[in-house]
Amino acid sequence: MSEFSDDDKRRVELLEIVSKRGLKHLELHELKELIPLVEKKDYSHNKKAQKSKMKLLAQINARIYDLEEKTWFR
């Protein structure tokens, strides 16, 4: 039995894309999928990691807003 869940594997897969190529390389649905996967991960034991998590979530939300705003004004 694998010690990593499907959610863990998917979160790592998406975060690897973000770290190598940036948020702009994820589709809107992937960004929306990533939010709960990141939110679910508990970093409360590591203050620096928790701060990075919150910063990443803010960046993801900003990117989603930018993408959705483009579709509003078409």
> Domain segments of the chain: what residues?
6-72
pLDDT-based confidence at 2, cuts 50/70/90? low
The whole-model pTM stands at 0.86
Q: What is the pLDDT of residues 12-61, one digit of tens each?
A: 999 999 999 999 999 999 999 999 999 999 999 999 999 999 999 999 99
- pLDDT score of 71 more than 80: no
35-42 long-range Cβ contacts below 8 angstroms, 24+ apart: 35/60, 35/61, 37/7, 37/10, 37/11, 38/11, 40/7, 41/11
According to the model, what pLDDT value does residue 42 have? 93
